């Protein structure tokens, strides 16, 4: 099987002229009630109304996007969208992404299993990453997410997906944990539990974000975040949790390690440490066609329905150009992991640090070299404001 190569996007290291990553909120429907949801429980949620884009509209939008490195679906619960397989197929055929990412709360094991299998068959040249959310072990997960029986269902989903992983080489299984005030004291337990699973796949943590209605979930202890990051790194090095299956997987694992360190420093120093390529390399699309530079900022570039579903036309508009300007000038900062991925992988000034981690993961020692620049010195333009322009 031939996968779409990620290396086709190397020119974006030097020229940030077109998007290579899309986050697409396919639906606002959800069968969970997570109190820290930055999308459905945000005090200033993006695009709270509007009819969902139809499959035909999505096909047109996808056609206007060109080649993409990865597409992250989001919501809501993405597997509640009935035409998810067709949507995935449109992006697979027209944008040739190396990775299609599907997060799920895992509350519908059979549905997630069946749709994933269809997607695996329909999109053979992309790596299909499915991440099940686990925010606690047992009842603590259910309490946190307001979903009685949710942990058992999520584990059943994970088990069923694990069976598929044996049959499809393009499936990559993962678990994601939201790091928030209410589970930060149980992170060691969660990380070790996931590390002990037979088919754990990768394990990532996401620091709670957004302008939540219940802000208290954001009262996180930075040192507890660092302990969790260290524990994940230890499990990764010991092989308890896996690395990705796709081309460049160890590079991605090295990036994960560097990313968590940068996020810890961003939280500690409350400022941006590296340039952000949101709006240039990555875009966010809502279920009703609004386009944003990222999930945090609420200044929309416009709605694709007003631009004939043509992303290129929308990005050429004065409104879109004006919205990107403050981002390139460093006016905001955040800890959103998806953006850190692009901001690390496409920033050559971080490569010495990245290569050092890559060598360590391969059990090799890098040749003696000058110390890599700290992320701080790698920043082209330090933030001009203490607080994020986002929520
Ligand atoms: S809030 Fe600013 S730093 Fe964070 S992803 Fe958006 S543009 Fe980038």
Split at pLDDT 50, 70, 90, the class of 48 is low
Q: Which CATH class is domain 16-378?
A: alpha beta
Looking at residue 47, what is its pLDDT?
A: 58
Mutate to test the pocket of ligand 1, among 296, 328, 331, 335 (most ligand atoms within 8 A of CB): 296
Beta strands in the chain (DSSP E): 21-25, 70-74, 99-104, 127-133, 171-179, 202-207, 282-285, 290-292, 302-303
Phi/psi for 161 (5° steps) reads -65, -35
Cα(378) to ligand 1 centroid in Å equals 17
Task: Please give the structure tokens belonging to residue 144.
Answer: 């946190």
pLDDT surpasses 80 at 220: yes
pLDDT digits (tens, 9 = 90+) for 239-268: 666 666 666 677 888 898 999 999 999 999
N residues, the chain = 391
What mean pLDDT is predicted for residues 39-44? Answer: 68
Tell me the pLDDT band of 34, cut-offs 50, 70 and 90: confident
Q: Which of 336, 340, 344, 382 to mutate to test the pocket of ligand 1 (most atoms within 8 A of CB)?
A: 336
Predicted confidence (pLDDT) at residue 13 exceeds the cutoff of 90? yes
For atom 6 of ligand 1, the residue with the nearest CA is 294
* 138 Ramachandran zone, left/alpha/beta (phi>0; psi -120 to 50): left
Q: How far is the CA of 163 from the centre of ligand 1 (A)?
A: 37
Q: How far is CA 328 from CA 28, 215, 276, 293, 332, in A?
A: 30, 28, 7, 11, 9
Tell me whether residue 309 is exposed, middle or buried, using C-beta atoms within 10 angstroms of its C-beta: 0 to 12, 13 to 18, 19 or more: buried
Please give the distance, rounded to the nearest whole angstrom, from the Cα atom of residue 332 to the centre of ligand 1: 6
User: Which range is least confidently modeled, 125-129, 221-225, 336-340, 344-348?
Assistant: 336-340
**Pair 194, 201: CB distance under 8 Å:** no
Q: Tell me the pLDDT tens digit for each residue of 313-372.
A: 999 999 999 999 999 999 999 988 889 999 999 999 999 999 998 888 876 544 433 333
Q: What is the C-alpha separation between 22 and 24, in angstroms, rounded?
A: 6
pLDDT band per the 50, 70, 90 thresholds, residue 175: very high
274 within 8 A of 344, measured Cβ to Cβ = yes
Distance of CA 108 to the CA centre of its chain: 21
What percentage of the chain reaches a pLDDT higher than 90?
68
Q: What is the CB < 6 Å shell around ligand 1?
A: 272, 276, 278, 293-294, 296-297, 327, 332-334, 336, 339, 388, 390
Span of 130-139, 229-238, 285-294 with lowest mean pLDDT: 229-238
Question: Which band of pLDDT confidence, cut at 50, 70 and 90, is reported for residue 388?
Answer: very low
Pairwise CA distance, residues 59 & 43, whole Å: 31
Percentage of the chain surpassing pLDDT 70? Answer: 87
The minimum-distance atom of ligand 1 relative to the CA of 272 is 3
Looking from the CA of residue 331, the nearest atom of ligand 1 is 2
The pTM for the full model equals 0.88
Alpha-carbon distance of 154 to 158, in angstroms, equals 6
Number of CB atoms found within 10 A of residue 352's CB: 15
pLDDT above 50 for 35: yes
2 or 308, higher pLDDT:
308
DSSP 170-206: TEEEEEEEEE-TTTGGGHHHHHHHHHTSTT--EEEEE
Quick one: which atom of ligand 1 is closest to the CA of 334? 4
Banded model confidence at residue 278, pLDDT cuts 50, 70, 90: very high
- Residue written as tokens 């606690």? 136
Ligand 1: residue whose CA is nearest its atom 4 = 334
Ligand 1 nearest atom to the CA of residue 277, by list position: 8
The pLDDT tens digits of the residues spanning 82-111 come to 999 999 999 999 999 999 999 999 999 999
Neighbours of 230 (CB within 10 A): 15
Atom of ligand 1 nearest to the CA of 294: 6
Mean pLDDT (the chain) is 87
Domain boundaries, the chain: 16-378
385 pLDDT above the threshold of 50: no
Residue of minimum CA distance from atom 3 in ligand 1: 333
Q: What angle do CA 289, 290, 291 make, to 5 degrees?
A: 115
Q: How far is the CA of 327 from the centre of ligand 1 (A)?
A: 7
């Amino acid at each position: 099987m031939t996968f779409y190569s990620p290396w086709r996007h190397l020119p974006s290291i030097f020229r940030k002229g077109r998007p290579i990553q899309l986050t697409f909120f396919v639906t606002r429907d959800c069968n969970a009630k997570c109190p820290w949801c930055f999308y459905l429980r945000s005090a200033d949620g993006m695009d709270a109304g509007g009819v969902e884009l139809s499959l035909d509209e999505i096909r047109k939008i996808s056609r206007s996007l060109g080649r993409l490195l990865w597409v992250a679906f989001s919501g809501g619960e993405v597997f509640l969208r009935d035409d998810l397989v067709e949507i995935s197929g449109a992006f697979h055929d027209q944008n040739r992404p190396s990775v299609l990412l599907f997060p799920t709360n895992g509350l519908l094991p059979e549905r997630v299993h069946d749709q994933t299998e269809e997607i695996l068959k329909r999109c053979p040249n992309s790596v299909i990453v499915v991440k099940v959310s686990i925010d606690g072990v047992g009842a603590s997960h259910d309490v946190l997410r307001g979903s009685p029986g949710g942990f058992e269902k999520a584990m059943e989903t994970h088990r069923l997906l694990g069976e598929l992983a044996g049959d499809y080489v393009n499936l990559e299984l993962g678990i994601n944990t939201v790091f928030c005030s209410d589970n930060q004291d149980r992170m060691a337990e969660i990380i070790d539990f996931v590390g002990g699973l037979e088919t754990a796949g990768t394990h990532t943590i996401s620091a709670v974000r957004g302008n939540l209605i219940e802000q208290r979930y954001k009262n996180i202890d930075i040192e507890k975040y660092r302990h969790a990051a260290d524990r994940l790194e230890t499990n990764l090095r010991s092989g308890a949790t896996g690395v990705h299956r796709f081309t460049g997987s160890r590079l991605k694992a090295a990036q994960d390690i560097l990313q968590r360190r940068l996020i810890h420093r961003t939280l500690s120093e409350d400022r941006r440490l590296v340039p952000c390529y949101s709006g240039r390399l990555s875009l966010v699309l809502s279920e009703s066609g609004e386009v944003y530079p990222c999930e945090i900022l609420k200044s929309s570039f416009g709605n694709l329905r007003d631009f004939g579903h043509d992303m290129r036309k929308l990005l050429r508009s004065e409104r879109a150009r004006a919205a990107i300007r403050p981002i390139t000038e460093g006016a905001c900062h955040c800890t959103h992991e998806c953006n850190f991925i692009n901001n690390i992988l496409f920033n050559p000034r971080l490569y010495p640090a990245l290569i050092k981690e890559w060598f360590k993961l391969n059990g090799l020692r890098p040749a003696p070299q000058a110390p890599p620049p700290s992320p701080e010195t790698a920043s082209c333009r330090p933030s001009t404001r203490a607080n994020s322009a986002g929520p």
